[in-house]
Amino acid sequence: MKLQAVSNRKLYLQIADQIREQISAGAVAPGRQLPSERDLAASLGVSRPTLREALIALEVAGLVEVRVGVGAFVRGQEKPGEALPEQSHSPIEIMNVRRLLEPEAAALAAQAIAPEGLARLAEVLGHMQADADRDLWTSEWDRTMHLTIAEGSGNSMLREILDTLWNSRSEDVDKRFHEHLATISDVRLHIMEDHRSIVAAIVQRDAEAARAAMAAHLDYVTAAMLNSWE
């Protein structure tokens, strides 16, 4: 029997390998732009989100430069590119799991969060606003806000799971993905307003409003990850 080994390697890394092979073969010269995401995704038979993750993996490896609103460009190879980030999870999959869990965490927090948790949320919002006033975005305040809400839910298992998901945000591909998003001022402003709405609902002890505000926020970020670049 002739059997082919089954690969459990992430799809976006398999796609990144194919593009890397084409770059190495000289299909696109250094400094030149790769075909559009739409064309690459169609040629490879994959979704645009998967293609975008592959391009970010190639950027992390030093093989391409992603320019928000323009496209991906092949970098000069004065030195060999690094290995692809094999251990990074899919940013889109991380967001999908957060979308399942964090709205419920916000609803629970609206019912159970302690006064010190509310004070912490107010403090974090203040730091976020200070950053926004300087056209900055600090991912650590983002993490602190979401995990304060998870802590306020009163469910320690939910808090641990969300902490694990947020740890994945520090992985190379996810980190670079969000760094690109943070360069878009409209996205930063929208996220700031989302956070205000989430905290306001929790302060008012309105579980349904908190759940809806968190769901709307995560839906927006997911859409921005897929639609904001080209």
Let me know whether 188 and 97 are in one domain. Answer: yes
Q: How confident is the model at residue 193 (pLDDT cuts 50, 70, 90)?
A: very high
HEC states along 36-96?
CHHHHHHHHCCCHHHHHHHHHHHHHCCCEEEECCCEEEECCCCCCCCCCCCCCCCHHHHHH
**What's the mean pLDDT in 63-77?**
87
Does 44 have pLDDT greater than 50?
Answer: yes
98 vs 229, residue with greater confidence: 98
Q: Which of 41, 74, 107 is the last residue of a domain?
A: 74
Q: Do 117 and 174 form a contact (C-beta atoms < 8 A)?
A: no
Query: Distance (Å, rounded) from C-alpha 27 to C-alpha 63?
Result: 13
Tell me if 211 sits within 8 A of 107, measured CB to CB.
yes
| Structure confidence at residue 3 (pLDDT) | 40
Does residue 218 lie within any of the structural domains? yes
Q: How far apart are CA 27 and CA 19, in angstroms?
A: 9
pLDDT tens-digit readout, 103-151? 999 999 999 999 999 999 999 999 999 998 888 888 899 999 999 999 9
Q: Locate 141 and state its tokens.
A: 């305040």
Q: Is residue 70 part of a domain?
A: yes
* 2 is a domain residue: no
Measuring CA to CA, which residue among 182, 172, 6 is closest to residue 90? Answer: 172
- The reported pLDDT for the residue numbered 120 is 97
pLDDT value for 80: 53
- Give the integer Cα–Cα distance in Å for 92 and 138: 21
pLDDT digits (tens, 9 = 90+) for 81-90: 578 888 888 8
Rounded distance between C-alpha atoms, residue 46 and residue 227, angstroms: 16
Instruction: Provide the CATH number for the domain around residue 22.
Output: 1.10.10.10
Are the beta carbons of 125 and 199 closer than 8 angstroms?
A: yes
Q: Are residues 134 and 24 in the same domain?
A: no
Domain membership of residue 186 as a residue range: 91-227
Q: What is the pLDDT of residue 196?
A: 97
Say what percent of the chain tops pLDDT 90: 55
Q: Compute the average pLDDT of residues 203-210.
A: 98
pTM across the whole model: 0.86
